[in-house]
Structure 1
């Protein structure tokens, strides 16, 4: 670092970075919390590291301080780009700033493998982004992400519990998820109305092969009317759900919330071969 960086609050003031509700922005500025989040990702030195929605660059600074092979920052908010460019002048870590919507970027292709992705996700696009990354989870070594706590609980939820649903099934089929710690609203500027959770996601060593588009359609039909028996809820997707359920060893009177991710995969295989 050549000289002292302006504080995050000074960057926000200088570049008129008042958080925008439309972008789901809630900035995390506490240095110890930022350090704690990045530390959970382990050693970064040999990795391509990706961050989505860096805003004023709180996490970004810690990542640059620790160093990595190459750092990619994806930021949709044009106001933040000039402030993030300060990092290039103050740190030796090679970095690339992409002024783009993260939903339009194939994050799994950035840099060379191995890759780690570390982000405090904008609340309004967190689930769509995460599903995109799950589809290519084998291209990442690790993801450390911040979600609303209610979303984080869905990722880890077990069958026959209120939080269990489509997101639980898809996530647990291809990845292992750890809930690390919570962050209260007061940790952010401005404070959100919800508690946030930091999670760590690792790809399974031998995940089943699925076509994500088809599998999402299956889980959408199954959970779309979750109180209905599967023999009824799946009729919107296939002609003979009862027969296929029996072939997969699943009671046709079962409800979606009773099936494990593996049950869903077994049924998916029978459906795709029918």
Structure 2
């Protein structure tokens, strides 16, 4: 029975065999590794992965697709909204109390919430390979002083080394999306800076709230309201500040508040 893609789930099924092989090569799965796939859909990527791994855990929200996937003896199917999945628990079971690798063609309508949900469990994740809207990946990997550099860049780069590894055109899917896609590799930093993630998020959100204005109008006022006595150059725009400076500022603000 042919599955009709559901708009509410943001379903676009990958059909290009050359692209599928390119993604598998980028992931480089090895037998016995604990891997979790988000949104397996019609198993285009699932099948070549499980052939190399021997076993694969998949997270699928669509009830009909989950039922089809359960017929595969080498798959553990988690039928759930990925935003409700406890990846720490999943790592404990799938990864034998170790770490998991996470892959998937993420639904573009909720890709950013998924990335932040995984950030909460980053300490149990070995690496991530995701297909996303190319525009989103451009923002994720953007360097300072570029138009793509923003809150998403800072919030992910402080915790991951990331690279755009593959371009995926619309015609690689059925139905074709209206945007270009790409595949990103995300490897958690081995020794990340210790900080209050919620504080960094708030600080960065304030900084980029009016990105065309100098930071003295936004972040400068926020720091003054908090009684921050340190030195920080607010005569710049938010996009001119490197990730390391935002991280250092978050640490200093936290220290003052203690």
Is 1:48 the counterpart of 2:30? The answer is: no
Residues 239-261 of structure 1: CA deviation (Å, up to 9, x unaligned): 447x74x72x5312222111000
Does 2:184 match 1:202? no
**Cα root mean square deviation, aligned:** 1.8
Aligned runs of 1:52-63 on 2, under 5 Å? 52-63=38-49
Residue 8 of structure 2 is aligned to residue 18 of structure 1: no
**1:28 aligned partner:** 14
Residues 138, 258 of structure 1: CA spacing in aligned structure 2 closer, same or farther, 3 A cutoff? same
Contact 2:158 2:192 (8 Å CA) reproduced: yes
Q: Distance in 1 between matches of 2:60 and 2:10?
A: 13
| 1:50-129 superposed matches below 5 A | 50-68=36-54, 70-88=55-73, 93=74, 95-110=75-90, 111-112=94-95, 113-129=98-114
Name segments (4+ residues, structure 1) moved above 4 Å.
235-238
Aligned counterparts, 1:118-267, within 5 A: 118-234=103-219, 237-240=222-225, 244=228, 247=230, 249-267=231-249
Paired with 2:221 and 2:87, the residues of 1 have a C-alpha distance of 34
Secondary structure class of the residue paired with 2:45: helix
Quick one: structure 1 residues 179 and 108, their matched pair in 2 at CA, closer, same or farther if it must change by over 3 Å?
A: farther
**What TM-score do you get using the length of structure 2 for normalisation?**
0.91
Q: Is the 8 A contact 2:22 2:166 kept in 1?
A: no
Q: Secondary structure of the equivalent of 1:269?
A: helix
Q: Distance in 2 between matches of 1:36 and 1:108?
A: 29
Measured in 1, the distance between the counterparts of 2:218 and 2:180 equals 33
- Could you tell me which runs of 5 or more consecutive residues in structure 1 were left unpaired when the two chains were aligned: 1-13
What secondary structure sits across from 1:119 in the alignment? strand
TM, length-normalised to structure 1: 0.86
| Offset from partner CA, 1:203-241 (integer Å, 9 cap, x none) | 111111223222211111111111222222126745447
> Which residue number corresponds to residue 6 of structure 1?
none
The count of corresponding residues between Structure 1 and Structure 2 is: 251
1:86 offset after TM fit, Å?
Answer: 2.7
| Secondary structure class of the residue paired with 2:218 | helix
